[in-house]
Each structure stands twice: as structure tokens, then as C-alpha cells.
Amino acid sequence: MTAVPRFALVLAAASVLLAGNLHAATAARAEDDPVGPPGSEASSAAPVEVDAADPDLKLPEGATLAQAKVLDIKSVVEEQSGDERREDTNTNVTFALQAEVLFGKDSAKLGAEAQSRIAGIAEEIKTQNATKIRVFGFTDNLGSSAHGDVLSKKRANAVQELLAQSLNDSGVTYEVRGYGEDYPIADNSTEAGRKKNRRVEVSFPRVDD
């Protein structure tokens, strides 16, 4: 992505599974009644109970486990100022921009810096050839929950509209939601934490290797 701010902090986590064990862009508006956390899908299936003494779970004599395979790697890169955060997995890219970078206080009107920030994200979307984009707004827990819901929706819509202008691609579709104070990523009891929670996230699938 071009014009990417310099980043200072990199964290990585990997989850490993032993493979042998168990085998256009139309005008998008924030939904009024989002269900479930962003990026998740509800499942009614109960956890499967496994009997550790079941002989069928034992390897046949002479058999060996397949080589361990890395299923997913998550890389998190955050600006030293904390204004922008990028998270990469094998399947998705997520940008989180703090509200102060994009908007005035308690406002959904994009500021002067917003265009360059969102243009940078648009370039990465083009690099990934992504056609399905999620734009989610979040607030801290100050003020009423209802106010936070409305503000986060307006902010998500504002970012989506500018992003659509930057991409100018009728083949791109958007999912736009406002979650208010739900799903904080930091402690709302401190101003530093609340600042992180006031954010807009843009995420899309990875298609390159």
C-alpha cells in the first residue's frame, strides 16, 4: 500500500494444528440492528464430547502423525502514536483508524487528514483485488448507548462513502455497521483506552499469497 504511515510495533501469533489428529458499489448504509460481533457468525452446534479412552482415537500400529501445519498467522502492526492499526491474517486484512484521526469530537464529518488515510486503505484494497469490504464504527462508553449507536453508524457511513469514491469500482460491495460501545478493544475506564475504542475498522479478504 502506498503512503502507509510508519509503524513501530509488531506482534505475531500463530495457531498450530496437527493435521493427523482430526480429520456496484451501491450506496451502503449502516444496518440498524447488527447481530453478533464483527466478523463472527453464530453457531448452534454444541461442543463435541471426546472420549479419551476411545480406541478409535488411537493411531494404528506403525502409523505416524503428519507434519504439523500452520493454519493461521496473525500479524498486528500499530503506529507508535496508536492512531492506526493494521491486522493481517492468512485470510483477512483489517485497518482500525482512531476516530480522532478522522473526525472532530462527537462528529461524523470527516476531517482534513481522513482523505489521505482512507486513500491509503483504498490502495491496499486494490492490491488485494478485494471486492467485499466491511466498514464498522465503534465508540467508547461515555454518554448514552443510543447516542453511541447513532454516532458509530454515521461515522461508518462517512468512511464507506469516501472509500467508495476513492475506489470508484462498481464491482465492490460493502457491509456497513455501527456497533456503538459494543466490542471494545481497550479498557474504557481510562482515556487512553477510550481513545482506542473510538474507531472505524475497514476489513476485507486477502487474495494474494
Q: What are phi and psi of 200, to 5 degrees?
A: -125, 130
User: What mean pLDDT comes out for the span 59-66?
Assistant: 77
Output the pLDDT for position 58. 75
- Judge whether residue 51 has pLDDT over 90: no
Lowest pLDDT segment from 1-15, 82-96, 134-148, 149-163: 1-15
Q: What is the DSSP letter of 55?
A: G
Greater confidence (144 vs 80) lies with: 144
**Which segments of the chain does DSSP mark as H helices, in order?**
99-102, 114-128, 145-167, 191-197
Kindly report, residue by residue over 75-123, the tens digit of the pLDDT.
888 777 778 999 999 899 999 999 999 999 999 999 989 999 999 999 9
Greater confidence (24 vs 162) lies with: 162
